[in-house]
Amino acid sequence: MWEGAAMAERTRGAVLVTLADREDADELAEQLWEQGYEPCRVHRDMLAGEDDAEDVDWVIEVLTGPHGGPAVFDEPHLALLAEDYGGFAAAE
């Protein structure tokens, strides 16, 4: 399988939870993992066109929900949790 297609297949149904603060992202990722979400990886995301290292968002990549299906089924729940931290969630 073509590498790009394989990556797209693995991330189908993923939800990206975006927060401004690294500590908040780590805390929420741990909460999500405890609730059964996987893999809950935290990534640094430089804002497009910005050179200033202060302009960084932190993204929690969530692929699978506690039900075993794609996390996209839980996007409304993840969005509410993100809002508690001043962030947002979007299906990929």
The per-residue pLDDT for range 30-77, each reduced to its tens digit, is 999 999 999 999 999 866 555 555 668 999 999 999 999 999 999 999
Say whether pLDDT at 1 is over 50: no
Say whether pLDDT at 6 is over 90: no
Q: State which residues form the domain around 24.
A: 3-91
Residue of 13, 25, 28, 19 whose CA lies nearest to 91: 13
42 Cβ partners below 8 Å, 6+ apart?
Answer: 22, 25, 26, 29, 58, 59, 60, 61
Strand ordering across the sheet containing 88-91:
38-46, 56-64, 15-19, 88-91
Domain count, the chain: 1
Assess contact for 62 and 37: CB atoms under 8 A. Answer: yes
Is pTM beyond 0.85? Reply is no
For 91, left (φ over 0), alpha (ψ -120 to 50), or beta? Answer: beta
pLDDT at 9: 44
- 87: CATH: 3.30.70
